[in-house]
């Protein structure tokens, strides 16, 4: 199982509403995430900056492809789209602005 972290940015002023939306993540979406091999998924927020961390059983891209194909994910992404600033920090061949782990204390 591998650990991953990446960054996202919210539009200014949308943080409280984004937080509220995540107090009631749809159970069917949580099932899709778990079925794709994701566990220990956390989102941390400081103002508009989000840091997302997770463990994935298997390949990151394969897991995200599986999630992307789920109808409930399309609905969730549509609902969340109003909160996100355009992604400007990705590098070629990145789905999200990925972070490199440089230290881990188990």
- Angstrom distance (rounded) from CA 106 to CA 63: 24
Q: Which is the catalytic residue, given 22, 55, 65, 75?
A: 22
- pLDDT above 70 covers what percent of the chain? 100
Instruction: Read off the pLDDT band of 18 (50, 70, 90).
Output: very high
CATH classification number, 2-83, choose in 3.30.43.10, 3.40.228.10, 3.30.70.100, 3.30.9.10: 3.30.70.100
- Angstrom distance (rounded) from CA 93 to CA 90: 8
- The pLDDT of residue 86: 85
pTM for the full predicted model: 0.90
**Active-site residue 22, yes or no?**
yes
- The pLDDT of residue 87: 73
Q: What is the pLDDT of residues 41-92, one digit of tens each?
A: 999 999 999 999 999 999 999 999 999 999 999 999 999 999 999 877 888 8
């Amino acid at each position: 199982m591998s650990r991953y972290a990446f960054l996202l940015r919210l539009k200014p002023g949308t943080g409280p509403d984004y937080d509220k939306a995540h107090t009631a993540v749809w159970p069917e979406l949580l099932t899709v995430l778990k079925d794709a091999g994701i566990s220990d998924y956390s989102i941390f927020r400081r103002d508009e900056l989000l840091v997302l961390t997770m463990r994935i059983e298997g390949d990151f891209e394969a897991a995200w492809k599986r999630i992307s194909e789920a109808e409930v994910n399309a609905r969730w992404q549509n609902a969340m789209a109003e909160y996100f600033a355009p992604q400007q920090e990705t590098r070629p061949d990145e789905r999200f602005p990925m972070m490199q782990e440089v230290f881990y204390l188990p």
